[in-house]
Each structure stands twice: as structure tokens, then as C-alpha cells.
Amino acid sequence: QNLEHVAAEINAASGKKKDKLLEKQSSIQARLALVEGHNANVVYRLRKSADIVKLRVELLAVLALQEKERSLSLTSEDMRRLEGRHALESTIADLEEQSREWFDEDFDSKCVLDEKEAEAQYKKKKATKPSGAKGGGSAASSSSWATIGKKKPVAKAAKPSGGKSSGFAAAFGNDSDSD
């Protein structure tokens, strides 16, 4: 695109400006040749990467439940899932260890790559779940607490007063000590 633009300017230009544009065109062509000839570094995944990512997505769901645990609103099924957290972590560690190569210098970066992919899948799964959950029924889930809405303040009707009593006297029932 830049080469086409510079070529059009070269055709229209003359003198020193044309020399500068020719120099610019040659630098753009050199940069383009350098970029086209470059091969990107390929990062190979761990051997058991697919299994690790699936388990990490499950682990992220369990960690979210653990955060929910603080509010004490867990069901018995949630408690069972929380109990399996340590088993998930040990299974992930075992799979990562089985995937370790002898001369693998990028092992840590591959593990981080799997973690990021699992986070992305979990966020995607979490984002799509609320819209289709429970068949589009009620908005509140069956495991959540039901709360009573706040009552709106009702304006009280003013009592007709005798007109003589002040606010202070009305508090004591229009009783005076002079009697």
C-alpha cells in the first residue's frame, strides 16, 4: 500500500523530491523483504496440553466456588466439588511433569500458555452460561437466597391540629403546667 502510494508520488514528482521518494521506496522494499523472509518462533505445546487445559478450567470453577464459600451459600454438590480441589491440582502437576521433555528450556512458558488458555476458556464458558442457563426461566437460581424488596416510604396524612399547639406542646399532649 505504501509502495503504491510512493510510486504514484514518484510519477508526479520531479527534481530533489523525486530522489527522496526513490530513496524512501528502496527503504520500504528492503524492509518488506526482511519481514517476508522472517520466520516466526514456533512455541510447541506440552504433550498433554489438552488434558491440562480441561483440568485447569475445572480448577478455575472450583476456585470460584471457594470464593463463594466465604458467603456461606454453597450447596452440598458445591462442597463435594471443593473437596476435589487438591486432587485436581495434583493431577495437573502430574500431567505437567509427564509432559516435561529432557532438554525443554521453554517448559515454564508452555505451562503459562496452558494457564492462559484455560483462563480464556473459563471466561468464555462463564460469559455464555448466564444467557442460556435454566432454559431461559426465572432470573434467580434455586440455590440463591430470596430477599424481600424495600418498601417505599408512604406519606402519612397530617392530623388536623387545633392550631394553637406548637411542636413542643404537641409532644406532651398539649399539657401545660399552669393548671
Cell numbers 512455541: residue: 43
Name which residue leads in pLDDT, 38 or 166.
38
> Where in the chain are the domains?
2-36, 49-129
Render pLDDT for 65-116 as a digit per residue (tens, 0 to 9). 888 777 677 777 878 888 888 888 999 889 888 888 887 777 788 888 888 8
Render pLDDT for 104-132 as a digit per residue (tens, 0 to 9). 777 788 888 888 888 888 888 888 875 44
pTM here? 0.46
Cell numbers 522494499: residue: 29
Q: Which amino acid is at 79?
A: M
